[in-house]
C-alpha cells in the first residue's frame, strides 16, 4: 500500500504581496505522473465550511488566519491538510484516492474464547454459545465447554451439578456480576434458578482466581453477566417444549426511558407436567414442577460525568415434586403410603451497584455493590424434612487506580457479609429435627496489583485479609502470571489459597433421598461442629496457536492440583446406611489434567476436542480412596457449523457434542444383601447431544435438538426402589442419565427497534 | 539615583515576567493529548507505547495503527508532551514534532520501517 506524499513548496512572500493573504495553486497528479491545475478544489479552514475554491488555473486566495490549517479536498482525491504561516505561497498536489474501500471484515468474536492476554486462566462464554445448549437455565449452559463438567441430575431434585477440576460446585465461587450469588442455602440448586436467556456472557476462571470477589473460591470462579438494559433490544420471546414434558417461556421487555435511564423486565416461567417413568422402577425420572421467575433491572449511565448504576429486583418461586409415580402430595405427604418428595423454594433479591469512573483519568474508578437476598427452601424427602431459610447481606467497596502509569494497576477495597440461617434438619428419616440455625458475618479487605509490561509478561498478585465469626481471621493470597515466550505461545501459572465453610446439608441434599443417616463426627468446630475448609490450588497452563493445513489450530494443556489443608469429608464408603461428615485427618487432593485441541476448519466450522484426566483421592476413615462418582478419564468433542447469514437474515446452525465418561467408582454397598448391592464401578458411557437452528430472519428463529441421543439409561438407578422406607433405599447413586433420549423444539422472536 | 532607578526597572521587569509565567503555567495532573506517531504494525505499537511509558509522568499511552496516532494522558506537573515526542522519536518513530535519528530508523525491523515524511 503506497502512501501518497504531499509535496509542499513554500515560497516566502517577498514580492510585496500583502502579508494578510494566503495564495496558492493546487495541482492534480495524473496517472502518467503529470501535475495539472485542478479547478473546483475546496480550500477550507479546518473544522469550518469557510474558505474558497480553486479557479480554472488551480489558483486560490484567502485572508490569513492565525494558528489555523487549510484543508484541500476534491472528490476522488486524497484530502490534504496544511498548516499555514503568514505570507505563504502554497503549491499543493493532490493524489488520487486509490485506497480500496477497506472491506471491514467484521471478525465475529468466537463464542468460546480463551483470554490470552489475561494472567488468569479465563475463558469467556458468549451468548452465542449459550444458545447451543438444549436449555434452559445456567446449570445447563456449560455443556459445550470442556473446562466444566456437567453431571447428571438425580431423579429427585432434578438439579444438575457442575464440577471444575473434578471438584463439586461448592468449591467454585459463582458470582452474578461480581457479587457472589450461588452460595449457602442455594449452593446445590442456585444455578437452576437463573434462566439462560437472561445471561449475556460467562467468564470461567480455573484455579483460585482473583481476590476481589471473595475468599471462597478453591477450584475456580464463574462470573456471569446479565443482559444490560442500555444494550438490550425492545422485545425478546423464547418458547420451548420437550419430550420429557418440560415447557418454558421467556419474555424480555426493554425500554430506554431517557438517554440515561433504561429498564428491562425479564419474565420466566417453566413447568413439567406429565409423569415419565422410562425405566419402570415406579419412580418419576424427572420431578414435576413449576417455576416463575421475574427480574426487573434498571440502569443509569451518564458517560460524560462517569456514573453507571444498576438496580436489580428479583422474585422466584419454584415447586418440585418427585418420587413414586403413585404419590399424591395432598394425601401421602410425610406418610408411608408412597415415597415422595417436594422441594419448595422462594427467593427474593434486591441489589444496587454504583460505579464512578473519573472522566479525565479513566483508570481510576470506584465501585460500590450492595445486595440483599432471601432464600427459603422448605422440603421433605420421604419422611425426612429439611428446611433452610437464609437471609444475606453483601456489601463491597472497590477502588481501582494506577501506580505511576497504566502498566501498574491496583485494586483495593472493603467487604462486609452477613448470613442468617434458620435451618432444621431431620438426620434420620422420621425422627426429630435438629436445629442448626446460626448467624455468620465477616469483614474483609483486599489488595490486588496487576502488572503488564505491554509485551510478553503480566502478573496479578492479590491478598485478602478477612475476619469471620466462624472461620476466624485468615489470609488468602493469590498470584497469577502470564508469559508469552514466542508468537502464538502462552504460558500461565497460578497459586492461590481459598477458605470456605461447608453447608453440609444444603450442598448434599440429594443424599436425603435415601435411607442414609447423616452423622457428624466432630463437635469442636463452629460450623455444624466442623472446621473451615482450607485449600491451596496450584496450576500451569500452556497454550500454542499454530497453522495446520493452512487453518488456525490451537493446543492447550492445563494441569491443576488442589491440596486441602482441611476438608469436610463426605464419606459414602464407610457404611451404605450412613453418610459421615468429618474433618480431614490426612491428605485430600485433586489432580486434574486437561488437553484440548481446537481446529478452525473455516471461520464457521469449528472442532473442539478435549481429554481430561482426574486423580482425586482422600484419606477416609477406612483408608485412602478415590472420590466416588467421578470418572478418571473423560473425553469431549464438539463440532459446530454455521452457514453465512444471507441478506434477508437467513442462517442455519448445526451443533453436535459428545462426552465419553470412563468408569466411575460407586459408593460402597458391599454390606447390603446381594440384591441391593451396586457394582463397584460403573461402565464407560458415551453421550451425544445435537441441535439444529434455522433463522428465518433477524426477527425469528426455530431450533430443534436432542439430548442423550444414544438413549443411554442408567439401570438400577435406585437401590431397592420397591421398599423406599426400608434400610437399603438409595436414589443418590447416579452416574449417568436416568431419563433416556430427550428431544426438544423451541423458537426465538426478537424485535430490534 | 539613576542606577537605583535602573536596578528597580530591571527587577520590576523581571518580576512581572515571572508573574506572567506563573499565570499561564496552570499545570494539571491528568491531561489528554493526541499526537500523531508514524508506525506500521503491532510490533511498532509495543515500541511506541514503551517509549511513551518510559517518560516519568506519562500515565497512559495507547497507539492506534489505523489512525497513526497515540492517545496519551500525562501529569503536566511531572512532564510535558514534548518529552513524549522526544522519547518516541528516540525509539525510532517520527512524530509531527520530533523526527527519529536516521541511524535508529534504519535499525528498526523491516516491517516497521514506515514511510517517512520528507520535508526540506
What are the tens digits of pLDDT across the range A211-249? 999 999 999 999 999 999 999 999 999 999 999 889 999
A145 confidence band (pLDDT: 50, 70, 90)? confident
B67 touches chain A (CB under 8 A): no
B74 touches chain A (CB under 8 A): no
Q: How many domains does chain B have?
A: 1
CA distance B44 to chain A (A): 11
Partner-chain contact B73 A360, CB within 8 Å = yes
* Residue B7 belongs to a domain: no
What element of type H or E holds B45? helix B42-53
Chain A and chain B share a number of CB contacts under 8 A equal to 36
B90 touches chain A (CB under 8 A): no
* Residue B51 belongs to a domain: yes
Least CB–CB distance from B73: residue in A8, A361, A454: A361
* Stretch A421-427: mean pLDDT: 91
CA distance A74 to chain B (A): 21
Residue B108 — φ and ψ, nearest 5°? -65, 150
B17 confidence band (pLDDT: 50, 70, 90)? very low
Contacts for B78 with CB less than 8 Å, ≥ 6 apart: B56, B57
pLDDT tens figures, A662-693: 999 999 999 999 989 999 999 999 999 999 99
**Cβ A511 vs Cβ A581: under 8 Å:** no
Least CB–CB distance from A405: residue in B32, B60, B118: B60
A357 touches chain B (CB under 8 A): no
Dump strand ranges (E) for A128-245. 148-150, 162-164, 167-168, 172-176, 179-182, 199-206, 220-226, 235-242
Q: How far apart are CA A519 and CA A517, in angstroms?
A: 6
Partner-chain contact B59 A5, CB within 8 Å = no
| Other beta carbons within 10 Å of A75 | 8
- Half-sphere exposure in the Cβ direction for A366 (13 Å, CA): 8
Q: How far apart are CA B104 and CA B120, in angstroms?
A: 20
pLDDT tens figures, A609-652: 999 999 999 999 999 999 999 999 999 999 999 998 888 889 99
Angle at A647 between CA A645 and CA A651, to 5 degrees: 25
A486 touches chain B (CB under 8 A): no
A157 confidence band (pLDDT: 50, 70, 90)? confident
pLDDT score at A6 = 39
Give the DSSP letter of residue B24. H
pLDDT score at A104 = 37
- For residue B50, the chain A residue with the least C-alpha distance is A454
Instruction: Dihedral sign for Cα A49, B33, B66, A645, please.
Output: negative
**Cβ A669 vs Cβ A576: under 8 Å:** yes
From residue A7, alpha-carbon distances to A84, A277, A404 in Å are 15, 85, 42
DSSP, residue by residue, A238-299? EEEEETTSEEEEEEEEEEE-SSSEEEEEEEEEEEE-S---TT-SSB-SS-EEEEEEEEEEEE
pLDDT tens figures, A77-106: 777 878 776 666 788 877 776 544 333 344
Partner-chain contact A406 B61, CB within 8 Å = yes
Contacts for A180 with CB less than 8 Å, ≥ 6 apart: A173, A174, A213, A214, A216, A394
* Residue B5 belongs to a domain: no
A113 touches chain B (CB under 8 A): no
Domain extents for chain A? 9-94, 229-586
pLDDT score at A90 = 81
Edge to edge, what strands does the sheet with A148-150 contain? A148-150, A162-164, A167-168
Domain A229-586 sits in CATH at: 2.40.170.20
B46 touches chain A (CB under 8 A): yes
* Residue B8 belongs to a domain: no
pLDDT score at A152 = 79
**Residue A132 in 3-state DSSP?**
coil
Q: How far apart are CA A695 and CA A648, in angstroms?
A: 10
DSSP, residue by residue, A88-105? EEEEEEE-B---------
The partner residues of A36 in beta bridges, in order of sequence, read: A28
Domain A9-94 sits in CATH at: 2.60.40.10
pLDDT tens figures, A31-55: 666 778 888 888 888 777 778 888 8
**Residue A398 in 3-state DSSP?**
strand
pLDDT score at B10 = 65
Best B56, B73, B79 member to test A by mutation, with max A CBs in 10 Å, is: B73
A280 touches chain B (CB under 8 A): no
Which of A312-321, A695-704, B25-34 is predicted least confidently? B25-34
Best B42, B60, B94 member to test A by mutation, with max A CBs in 10 Å, is: B60
Query: Which domain, by its residues, includes B81?
Result: 31-112
A355 confidence band (pLDDT: 50, 70, 90)? very high
Chain B residue numbers with beta carbons less than 8 Å from the beta carbon of A8 are 119
As given in the structure block, the three cell numbers for residue A550 are 493452512
Least CB–CB distance from A360: residue in B30, B58, B115: B30
Chain B residue numbers with beta carbons less than 8 Å from the beta carbon of A406 are 59-61
Higher pLDDT, A488 or A570: A570
Higher pLDDT, A152 or A186: A186
Partner-chain contact B59 A406, CB within 8 Å = yes
Least CB–CB distance from B50: residue in A360, A402, A454: A454
ipTM score of complex: 0.71
Q: What is the CATH number of the domain that holds B75?
A: 3.30.70.100
Higher pLDDT, A63 or A349: A349
Q: How far apart are CA A634 and CA A592, in angstroms?
A: 11
B50 touches chain A (CB under 8 A): yes
A8 touches chain B (CB under 8 A): yes
Long-range Cβ contacts of B10-13 (<8 Å, 24+ apart): none
Residue A444 — φ and ψ, nearest 5°? -150, 165
As given in the structure block, the three cell numbers for residue A684 are 464407560
* Residue B23 belongs to a domain: no
Q: What burial letters (b/e) apply to B75-97, b meaning 16+ CB within 10 Å? A: bbeebebebbbbbbbebbbbbee
Chain B residue numbers with beta carbons less than 8 Å from the beta carbon of A104 are none
What element of type H or E holds A483? strand A472-483
pLDDT tens figures, A131-142: 887 678 888 888
pLDDT surpasses 70 at B24: no
Partner-chain contact B32 A360, CB within 8 Å = yes
pLDDT score at A101 = 36
pLDDT score at A328 = 92
Return residues 426-455 of A near B (CB < 8 Å). Answer: 454-455
* Residue B4 belongs to a domain: no
Same CATH fold assignment for domains A9-94 and A229-586: no
B60 touches chain A (CB under 8 A): yes
If you count DSSP H runs as helices and E runs as strands, how many of each does chain B have, helices first? 4, 3
pLDDT score at B9 = 64
Burial of A331 (0-12, 13-18, 19+ CB in 10 A): exposed
Contacts for A333 with CB less than 8 Å, ≥ 6 apart: A340, A342, A380
Contacts for B93 with CB less than 8 Å, ≥ 6 apart: B37, B38, B39, B44, B47, B48, B51, B100, B114
The CA R_g of chain B, rounded to the nearest whole Å, is: 20
pLDDT score at B11 = 63
- Half-sphere exposure in the Cβ direction for A91 (13 Å, CA): 10
Q: How far apart are CA B35 and CA B85, in angstroms?
A: 8
Partner-chain contact A8 B61, CB within 8 Å = no
Residue A658 — φ and ψ, nearest 5°? -130, 140
CA distance A22 to chain B (A): 20
Amino acid at each position: 500500500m503506497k502512501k501518497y506524499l504531499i509535496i509542499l513548496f513554500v515560497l516566502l512572500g517577498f514580492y510585496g504581496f500583502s502579508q494578510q493573504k494566503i495564495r496558492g495553486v493546487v495541482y492534480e497528479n495524473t496517472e502518467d505522473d503529470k501535475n495539472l491545475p485542478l479547478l473546483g478544489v475546496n480550500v477550507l479552514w479546518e473544522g469550518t465550511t469557510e474558505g474558497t475554491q480553486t479557479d480554472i488555473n488551480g489558483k486560490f486566495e484567502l485572508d490569513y488566519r492565525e494558528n489555523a490549517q487549510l484543508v484541500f479536498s476534491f472528490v476522488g482525491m486524497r484530502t490534504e491538510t496544511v498548516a499555514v504561516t503568514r505570507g505563504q505561497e502554497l503549491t499543493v498536489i493532490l493524489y488520487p484516492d486509490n485506497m480500496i474501500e477497506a472491506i471491514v471484515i467484521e471478525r465475529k468474536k468466537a463464542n468460546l474464547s480463551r483470554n490470552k492476554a489475561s494472567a488468569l486462566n479465563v475463558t469467556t462464554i458468549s451468548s452465542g454459545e449459550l444458545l447451543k445448549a438444549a436449555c434452559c437455565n445456567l446449570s445447563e449452559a456449560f455443556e459445550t465447554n470442556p473446562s466444566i463438567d456437567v453431571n447428571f441430575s438425580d431423579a429427585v431434585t432434578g438439579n444438575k451439578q457442575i464440577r471444575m477440576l473434578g471438584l463439586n460446585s461448592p468449591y467454585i465461587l459463582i458470582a452474578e456480576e461480581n457479587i457472589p450469588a450461588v452460595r449457602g442455602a442455594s449452593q446445590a440448586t442456585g444455578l437452576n434458578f437463573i434462566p439462560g436467556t437472561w445471561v449475556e456472557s460467562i467468564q470461567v476462571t480455573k484455579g483460585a482466581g482473583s481476590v476481589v470477589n471473595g475468599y471462597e473460591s478453591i477450584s475456580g470462579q464463574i462470573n456471569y453477566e446479565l443482559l444490560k438494559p442500555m444494550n438490550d433490544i425492545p422485545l425478546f420471546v423464547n418458547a420451548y417444549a420437550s419430550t420429557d414434558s418440560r415447557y418454558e417461556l421467556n419474555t424480555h421487555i426493554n425500554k430506554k426511558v431517557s438517554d440515561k435511564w433504561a429498564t428491562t423486565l425479564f419474565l420466566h416461567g417453566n413447568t413439567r407436567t406429565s409423569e415419565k417413568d422410562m425405566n419402570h422402577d415406579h419412580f418419576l425420572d424427572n420431578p414435576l414442577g413449576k417455576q416463575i421467575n421475574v427480574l426487573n433491572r434498571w440502569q443509569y449511565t451518564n458517560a460524560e460525568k462517569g456514573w453507571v448504576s444498576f438496580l436489580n429486583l428479583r422474585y422466584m418461586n419454584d415447586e418440585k415434586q418427585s418420587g413414586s409415580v403413585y404419590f399424591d402430595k395432598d394425601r401421602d405427604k410425610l406418610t408411608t403410603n408412597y415415597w415422595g418428595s417436594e422441594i419448595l423454594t422462594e427467593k427474593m433479591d434486591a441489589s444496587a451497584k454504583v460505579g464512578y469512573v473519573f472522566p479525565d483519568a479513566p483508570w481510576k474508578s470506584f465501585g460500590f455493590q450492595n445486595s440483599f437476598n432471601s432464600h427459603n427452601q422448605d422440603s421433605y424427602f420421604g419422611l425426612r424434612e429439611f428446611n433452610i431459610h437464609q437471609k444475606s447481606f453483601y456489601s463491597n467497596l472497590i477502588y481501582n487506580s494506577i501506580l505511576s502509569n497504566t502498566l501498574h494497576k491496583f485494586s483495593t477495597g472493603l467487604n462486609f457479609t452477613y448470613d442468617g440461617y434458620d435451618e432444621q434438619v431431620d438426620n434420620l428419616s422420621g425422627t426429630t429435627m435438629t436445629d442448626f440455625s446460626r448467624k455468620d458475618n465477616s469483614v474483609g479487605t483486599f489488595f490486588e496489583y496487576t502488572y503488564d509490561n505491554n509485551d510478553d509478561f503480566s502478573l496479578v498478585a492479590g491478598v485478602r485479609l478477612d475476619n469471620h465469626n466462624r472461620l476466624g481471621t485468615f489470609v488468602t493470597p493469590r498470584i497469577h502470571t502470564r508469559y508469552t515466550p514466542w508468537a502464538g505461545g502462552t504460558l500461565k501459572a497460578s497459586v492461590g489459597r481459598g477458605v470456605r465453610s461447608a453447608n453440609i446439608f444444603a450442598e448434599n441434599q440429594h443424599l436425603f433421598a435415601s435411607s442414609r443417616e447423616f452423622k457428624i463426627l466432630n463437635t469442636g468446630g463452629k460450623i455444624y461442629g466442623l472446621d473451615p475448609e482450607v485449600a491451596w490450588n496450584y496450576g500451569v497452563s500452556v497454550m500454542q496457536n499454530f497453522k495446520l493445513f493452512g487453518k488456525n489450530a490451537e493446543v492447550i494443556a492445563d494441569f491443576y492440583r488442589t491440596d486441602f489443608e482441611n476438608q469436610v469429608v463426605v464419606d459414602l464408603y464407610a457404611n451404605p446406611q450412613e453418610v459421615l461428615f468429618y474433618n480431614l485427618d490426612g491428605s485430600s487432593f485433586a489432580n486434574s489434567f486437561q488437553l484440548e485441541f481446537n481446529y478452525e476448519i473455516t471461520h464457521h466450522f469449528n472442532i473442539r476436542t478435549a481429554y481430561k484426566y482426574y486423580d482425586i483421592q482422600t484419606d477416609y476413615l477406612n483408608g485412602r480412596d478415590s472420590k466416588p462418582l467421578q470418572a478418571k478419564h473423560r473425553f469431549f468433542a464438539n463440532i459446530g457449523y454455521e452457514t453465512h447469514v444471507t441478506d434477508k437474515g437467513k442462517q442455519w446452525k448445526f451443533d453436535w457434542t459428545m462426552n465419553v465418561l470412563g468408569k466411575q467408582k460407586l459408593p460402597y454397598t458391599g454390606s447390603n444383601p446381594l440384591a441391593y448391592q451396586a457394582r463397584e464401578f460403573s461402565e464407560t458411557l458415551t453421550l451425544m447431544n445435537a441441535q439444529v437452528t434455522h433463522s428465518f430472519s433477524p426477527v425469528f428463529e426455530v431450533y430443534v435438538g436432542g439430548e442423550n441421543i444414544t438413549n443411554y439409561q442408567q439401570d438400577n438407578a435406585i437401590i431397592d426402589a420397591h421398599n423406599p422406607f426400608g434400610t437399603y433405599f438409595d436414589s443418590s447413586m447416579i452416574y449417568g442419565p436416568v431419563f433416556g433420549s430427550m428431544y426438544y423444539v423451541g423458537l426465538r422472536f426478537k424485535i430490534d427497534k | 539615583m539613576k542606577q537605583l532607578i535602573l536596578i528597580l526597572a530591571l527587577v520590576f521587569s523581571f518580576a512581572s515576567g515571572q508573574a506572567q509565567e506563573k499565570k499561564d503555567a496552570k499545570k494539571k495532573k491528568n491531561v489528554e493529548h493526541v499526537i500523531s506517531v508514524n508506525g506500521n504494525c503491532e510490533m511498532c505499537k509495543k515500541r511506541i507505547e514503551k517509549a511513551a511509558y518510559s517518560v516519568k509522568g506519562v500515565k497512559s499511552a495507547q497507539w492506534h495503527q489505523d489512525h497513526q496516532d497515540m492517545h496519551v494522558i500525562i501529569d503536566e506537573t511531572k512532564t510535558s508532551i514534548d518529552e513524549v515526542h522526544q522519547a518516541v522519536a528516540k525509539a525510532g518513530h517520527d512524530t509531527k514534532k520530533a523526527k527519529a535519528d536516521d541511524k535508529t530508523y534504519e535499525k528498526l525491523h523491516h516491517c516497521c520501517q514506515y514511510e517517512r515524511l520528507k520535508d526540506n
